[in-house]
Amino acid sequence: MYLVNPSHLSFGIGVITPRWLFVLAGATPAAYGRPRIVDETLETFDLDGVQAGDIVGIGIHTGNALRGYEIGKLARARGATVVFGGIHATLYPDEARQLGDADAVVRGDGDLVWAQVLEDASRGTLQETYEGGRVDADRFVPARWELLPQGRYMWGSVQTVRGCPKHCSFCSVWRTDGQKPRQRGVDSVVAEIVELRRLGFRFVALADDNFYPVTLEDLAMAERQRNVPRLEQLRALRAERFELMARLAQLPSDMVFFTQITMEAAEDGDFLDAMRRANIKGALVGVEAVTPEGLKDVYKGFNESGEALVERLRKFREHGVHVLGSFIFGLPSDRASTFEATADVAERAGVTFAQFVMLTPYPGTVDFEKWEKHVGADAEQVAGIPVTRHWLIPQAQRPKVYSPHPVMTPDEIRARTQGVWDRFYSLRRVWARSNCVPKLRHRVAFVLMSKLYRQMYANTGIATDSARVSRANRWARLIARPCRHFFTARPLPSLGLQVATMSSREAAEGLEAKS
Ligand code: B12
Ligand code: SF4
């Protein structure tokens, strides 16, 4: 049985372990043997070994669906049973059947339904579609980290919460994973992290949609409404967050965690302090836009703009949490001046890393639905494919900007976006930012990592010319290997689970008292 994470690009070294591979491996009953894990971000899948009777499970998001379909067809041609899953297959199961030769498609979470799929496949009673649904947090399957190939990844990945109460227009998470945070129990999260540290991982990405699912405003609102059950539920979720962070703080002090969080957390000094103590040293914060009009464009009214935004982002830094600011360009209210203004805000706010993405209508989002309806049957075609199915257009020909902009051409948006990446990641600026780490050795690592990040994420997505893309890839391949060494630590095979004795309430109260 194979589990395949498709990718058109392979770097030899991976930054973050694709978690789904190891979770589905964990969900595979022992009777089916040891799953063969193939991550094409490391190297291309060699299908020579695939035989009739094998099962090939392929997980796709929108960006890698096309490569996933290629693999599906090749595997099916060799007689294998092909099963697709992941967010894109959840949204377009028929496409996976038509273009990827899927025998079956799993929609939603694979944790519980995967065993059924395997049983049906082995009995010859495979169904076309399986509804995996939204599995409750206490039934999330832990990842099988002992199957990790050695020395290939920089970061492990552990999910602590799934789903997000917000409703941003460019994001599918709240619609597919739901708005109710499914928060995983502390023990199971810590057990996985300890296992990763035993293997020598000291950097762990918390693969969360939103690490701060309960805001102070949510609590105040429940209180105003005198909604006691809701208030208790919210308080319990919040207390459990503090308990998790208290437990992370007890792990070896060389550990570094990174998560994704909304800007609202800046209101909550106790929470940020708990993050710092827990060694959650950085977080991706979706800033998206720096103007009120831009925030309205993406239904993100809970974010701040202008000076208040700079203040909010600085708060993270003041409490010892580095920010990877995520900004979107190409919003209807953007103007030529927005690009420089955004770069200024990113710098003044002291964000440590930043990504500047161009507005892409991802399926499953409100933006996508509006756009698809708006362009309708008249959608422009590239390589015979309507742009409303942009993921099916061969990578090299894929447009970079999809929605027509009121005042800027796609080329202008792309060039200006590239300009902001160039400015933010210029050697002079990266070196200046590297003073956030103490030693020269660490500063050099910081510079290398910044450059690697820029090559892996910016050039490939924005560049129009293929020479530049392949140059960026070669460069990324070259620096990925030395970079990995900065992330490893001496394995600690005998590290204990360090079961905490305090209850979540005690943990929360203790932390609040301290801060
Ligand atoms: C962590 C994360 C990242 C990390 C780490 C990625 C990595 N190497 O793992 C980083 C920050 C690098 C990242 C980057 C990006 N991400 Co991201 N990311 C996530 C996040 C928050 C969690 C993913 C995760 O690990 N989940 C835990 C695992 C266990 O869950 P899972 O992957 O969903 O798998 C389950 C099911 O889907 C199913 N399943 C999955 N595969 C298969 C296969 C089979 C055969 C079966 C049966 C079942 C099955 O079973 C699994 C267990 O239940 C998701 C949001 C989300 N809730 O999924 C977004 C998400 C996947 N990312 C998204 C996007 C858009 C991106 C970026 C394009 C952002 C950008 N503009 O740069 C880049 C693309 C990078 C790339 N080329 O892959 C979108 C994808 C939307 C879409 N339609 O494709 C999501 C859904 C978030 C969103 N805002 O909508 N991401
Ligand atoms: S972008 Fe972030 S805050 Fe908005 S819905 Fe998605 S996960 Fe939640």
Q: Note the pLDDT of residue 506.
A: 44
Question: Distance between CA 359 and CA 170 in Å, rounded?
Answer: 8
Please state, in angstroms and as integers, the Cα–Cα distance from residue 447 to each residue in 36, 115, 286, following that order: 35, 45, 23
* 8 A C-beta contact, residue 99 and residue 392: yes
Q: Which residue stretches of 156-305 are H helix?
A: 173-176, 186-198, 216-224, 228-249, 269-277, 292-297
Nearest residue to 326 (alpha-carbon basis) of 314, 313, 336, 338: 313
The pair of three-digit structure tokens given for residue 319, joined into one six-digit string:
């409490």
| pTM, 2 dp | 0.92
Q: Note the pLDDT of residue 458.
A: 64
In tens, the pLDDT along 214-242 reads 999 999 999 999 999 999 999 999 999 99
Best of 19, 145, 285, 417 to mutate for ligand 1, by most ligand atoms within 8 A of CB? Answer: 19
Q: Report the nearest atom of ligand 2 relative to the CA of 300.
A: 4
Q: What is the whole-number distance in angstroms between the Cα of residue 480 and the centre of ligand 2?
A: 29
Q: Note the pLDDT of residue 460.
A: 61
- Residue 15 three-state SS: strand
The pair of three-digit structure tokens given for residue 447, joined into one six-digit string:
């510079």
Ligand 1 contact, 109 CB (< 6 A): yes
Q: Note the pLDDT of residue 430.
A: 96
Question: Distance between CA 156 and CA 87 in Å, rounded?
Answer: 21
The pair of three-digit structure tokens given for residue 387, joined into one six-digit string:
């742009």
In tens, the pLDDT along 348-389 reads 999 999 999 999 999 999 999 999 998 888 888 999 999 999
- C-alpha 268 chain-centroid distance: 24
Question: Distance between CA 222 and CA 216 in Å, rounded?
Answer: 10
Q: Note the pLDDT of residue 373.
A: 92
The pair of three-digit structure tokens given for residue 510, joined into one six-digit string:
């203790």
Best of 15, 24, 56, 61 to mutate for ligand 1, by most ligand atoms within 8 A of CB? Answer: 61
Q: Note the pLDDT of residue 461.
A: 63
Q: Note the pLDDT of residue 484.
A: 78
Task: Looking at the CA of 130, name the nearest ligand.
Answer: 1
Nearest residue to 148 (alpha-carbon basis) of 16, 6, 10: 16
Which residue is it, tokens 């460019």? 170
Maximum Cα interatomic distance, the chain, rounded to a whole number of Å: 64
Question: Distance between CA 366 and CA 398 in Å, rounded?
Answer: 22
Best of 87, 127, 183 to mutate for ligand 1, by most ligand atoms within 8 A of CB? Answer: 87
User: Which positions of the chain have pLDDT values less than 70?
Assistant: 458-469, 472, 498-515
Nearest residue to 320 (alpha-carbon basis) of 285, 352, 281: 281
